[in-house]
A and B are shown apart, each in its own frame.
Chain A
Amino acid sequence: MPNTKSEDRLPSGSRSGRLKRLYKRLETEKRCGLIAYVTCGDPDWATTVAIVRALVHAGADAIELGIPFSDPIADGPVIQAASQRALANGTATQDVFKIAERIREGTDVPLIAFSYLNPIMRLGADRFAERASAAGIDSLLLTDLPPEAAKEMRTSLHERGLGLIFLLAPTSNPARIAAIDHASDDFIYYVSTTGVTGARKKLDPSLLTRLDEMRAQVKKPLAVGFGVSTHEHYQLLSGHCSAVVVGSAIVGAIADGPPAGAARRAADVVRSIMGKK
């Protein structure tokens, strides 16, 4: 895709165009994408690289690289525990750059850094943007940064060609929906239900109706996360959104056995959810 100067301006999204191309492709192929989340440094940074490679090989369309934070208020027990393990073994914010660089060596998969505001603020928004851009990261998502407080962060990221993705929730009112649709780069992350991250047996019964209503209101593609963990969920949601985000199911599988088998276990989750052999 050509990258003209005008496309680099707000709010055009990540300059790499990887996410934009992904959503175009998903539309052409009439397929629901899968975005896989991993916590960087769980069980260690080198294994995280191996896990991501395996996830991409298994069919994941984009990767969220979770930068661990000590007080993850939007996360359920599985990702909380992964964050604690990663921090306990000395994982630092900067490790996400090292991990992204290694992943970038072998693949063009879109990479989204995923965290909370404080670790990024501590590093500095400009410094984060500069290093993330150099490492091949496409975009950033911060669970506790709503658009009205994000001006500085957006500017820093956009100057370095990175996008900033916002969450949309079941409680968002029409004014907020419009503002988020405008501000979120390349796509919107739709939170399936009021609550924290974590695999759920059943999706919120009102989700499909809400999704259809939401799609009619926004221009950007929707990726649905929080609770998505089975092939049945994936099938149900296909046709109602552009992609699903799978986090705790993968992170749980990574923790469920020795590090040596972590990549294979994570990849199995992706294959199983997508219904591949």
Chain B
Amino acid sequence: MTTRAQQFPTKAGYYGDFGGKYVPETLMQPLEEFEAAYRRLKRDPEFKAKLNEILRDFVGRPTPLSEAKRFAAHCGDFRLFLKREDLNHTGAHKINNAIGQALIARRMGKQRIIAETGAGQHGVATATACALFGLECVVYMGEVDMARQELNVFRMRLLGAEVVAVSSGSRTLKDAINEAIRDWVTNVRTTHYIIGSVLGPHPYPMVVRDFQSVIGKEALKQIRKQAGAIPDVAIACVGGGSNAIGLFHELIPHPSIRLIGVEAGGRGSALGSHAARFSGGTLGVLHGTRSMILQDENGQIAETHSISAGLDYPSIGPEHAYLQSTGRIEYHDCSDDDAVEAFHKVSRLEGIIPALESAHAFGYLLRHGREIPDGSIVLLNLSGRGDKDVPQVMQLLNKER
């Protein structure tokens, strides 16, 4: 039994009270142009065939669905299935969107691509797509993130991208986006900005969602086959929210599926110590979209903290804000400590080293798995692999000794 999902966003790019297009005038016409190109190509059989061919032959889709029996048994009495986005080429779901947008850029005649990156996964994915299509690539990355994701910085450079260090503000993802927007506003005639999450001005949250919804489409088919039913619970970590929307989009019309988004609880509940936008945020506008934002009483954007660079962001995709307001998706936090514990547990019990971002979804199950009814079928989006996080976790272990 499915309910018909309302068509969001609206023509103006809103999801209920959230979303929209709040950018300097210089970018308004280019956004209209991008949206028109996307809507045209979405229905173009040649474009769809090309995208599917690349996703199959280059990215490695469909990604498998693996049952995680030992970790599930450790957490409770349910069956756990992992959507293996970690097995995509470049190691995370980000490539689904990067390839799609790079294809659009090429069709729009834009030869130069810019991107922001937090954990480096979107930067690597974009650099990869640009290498594949012969496009110039510049990636903006905060200095703090460059230090904690050194390996990905080198990977991007190997792929021929220029990585620009951003030293303003908190020197993380938020500031990288600021710099990318400044670049775009300057070079907008030659350049396409590939935003890596369901963030930013319309049409980005829609475009990125659509490219990522392949995750849920595949997972639903696979879980029906492997478990003989649709899941009772689906769970994903939420930074900007692209892997979560990618999984949930196809599940939303099934009202029996409980949907859980897990935000970064960081070190605690004080402003600046976490990236939990729903428990600590208020309505605001950042980076072109109206959503829930961590900010102070003067409307200045707050610093955030998460052990995982990919979740360390003060705003959340507007569609998440909408789905939270309607109650369709519930959001919880997972602390740094629980995420690290899950990182170790999943590695040992399943032979999979998860990204610290994805470890937050596992961390929720560690803490709350007993609350899930016995015999449930749980679907978790393993959004990326953890190789990039190994040096950071190694440092943590050394500190503890």
CB A133 to nearest CB in B, in angstroms, measures 20
Residues on the B chain within 8 Å of A87, using CB: 300
Q: Interface stretch among B18-26, B207-215, B221-229?
A: B18-26
Inter-chain CA distance A123–B25, complex, in Å, is: 23
Per-position binary interface string of chain A over residues 45-80, scored 1 when its CB falls under 8 Å from any chain B CB and 0 otherwise? 000000000000000000000000111111010001
* CB <8 Å contact, A69 and B21: no
Which A168-221 residues sit within 8 Å CB-CB of chain B?
Answer: 168-173, 176, 180, 191, 194-196
CB B308 to nearest CB in A, in angstroms, measures 21
* CB <8 Å contact, B299 and A172: no
Question: A120 at interface (Cβ–Cβ under 8 A)?
Answer: yes
Inter-chain CA distance A117–B289, complex, in Å, is: 11
CB A53 to nearest CB in B, in angstroms, measures 26
Question: B12 at interface (Cβ–Cβ under 8 A)?
Answer: yes
Question: A118 at interface (Cβ–Cβ under 8 A)?
Answer: yes
Listed residue (A84, A120, A195) with the most chain B CB atoms within 10 angstroms of its CB: A195
* CB <8 Å contact, B299 and A144: no
CB A77 to nearest CB in B, in angstroms, measures 8
* CB <8 Å contact, A144 and B24: yes
* CB <8 Å contact, B298 and A73: no
With an 8 Å Cβ cutoff, the count of chain B residues facing the other chain is 39
Residues on the A chain within 8 Å of B28, using CB: 146, 169, 171-172, 176
Question: B160 at interface (Cβ–Cβ under 8 A)?
Answer: no
* CB <8 Å contact, B24 and A71: no
Inter-chain CA distance A149–B178, complex, in Å, is: 21
Question: A122 at interface (Cβ–Cβ under 8 A)?
Answer: yes
Residues on the B chain within 8 Å of A113, using CB: none
Inter-chain CA distance A70–B293, complex, in Å, is: 13
* CB <8 Å contact, A180 and B21: no
* CB <8 Å contact, B295 and A170: no
Q: Interface stretch among B54-62, B279-287, B324-332?
A: B279-287
A118 and B288 contact, Cβ closer than 8 Å, known pairs A93-B298, A195-B185: no
Residue of A nearest to B174 (CB): A71
Which A110-145 residues sit within 8 Å CB-CB of chain B?
Answer: 116-123, 143-145
Inter-chain CA distance A148–B32, complex, in Å, is: 13
Question: A26 at interface (Cβ–Cβ under 8 A)?
Answer: no
Residues on the A chain within 8 Å of B20, using CB: 149
CB A219 to nearest CB in B, in angstroms, measures 18
* CB <8 Å contact, A169 and B25: yes
* CB <8 Å contact, A122 and B287: no
Contact of B24 among A92, A120, A167 (CB under 8 A): A167
With an 8 Å Cβ cutoff, the count of chain A residues facing the other chain is 40
* CB <8 Å contact, B22 and A168: no
* CB <8 Å contact, B285 and A144: yes
Residues on the A chain within 8 Å of B185, using CB: 73-74, 194-196
CB A200 to nearest CB in B, in angstroms, measures 11
Inter-chain CA distance A170–B188, complex, in Å, is: 11
Residue of B nearest to A91 (CB): B298
Question: A166 at interface (Cβ–Cβ under 8 A)?
Answer: yes
CB B33 to nearest CB in A, in angstroms, measures 9
Per-position binary interface string of chain B over residues 231-249, scored 1 when its CB falls under 8 Å from any chain A CB and 0 otherwise? 0000000000000000000
* CB <8 Å contact, B299 and A123: yes
Residues on the B chain within 8 Å of A170, using CB: 26
What are 28 A-to-B residue pairs whose CB atoms are below 8 Å? A70-B169, A73-B23, A73-B178, A73-B185, A74-B182, A80-B168, A87-B300, A118-B284, A118-B293, A119-B299, A122-B295, A144-B22, A144-B288, A146-B22, A146-B25, A148-B12, A149-B21, A167-B25, A167-B26, A169-B24, A170-B26, A171-B28, A172-B28, A176-B28, A180-B25, A191-B24, A194-B189, A196-B185
Interface set of A (CB-CB < 8 Å, partner B): 69-74, 76, 80, 84, 87, 92-93, 116-123, 143-146, 148-149, 166-173, 176, 180, 191, 194-196
For the complex of A and B, the 10 pairs showing the least CB-CB separation, nearest first, are A122-B299, A119-B299, A169-B26, A195-B186, A169-B25, A167-B25, A70-B300, A73-B181, A171-B29, A70-B301
Additional pairs, 5, CB under 8 Å, beyond known A73-B287, A84-B169, A173-B32: A70-B169, A116-B285, A118-B301, A172-B28, A194-B187
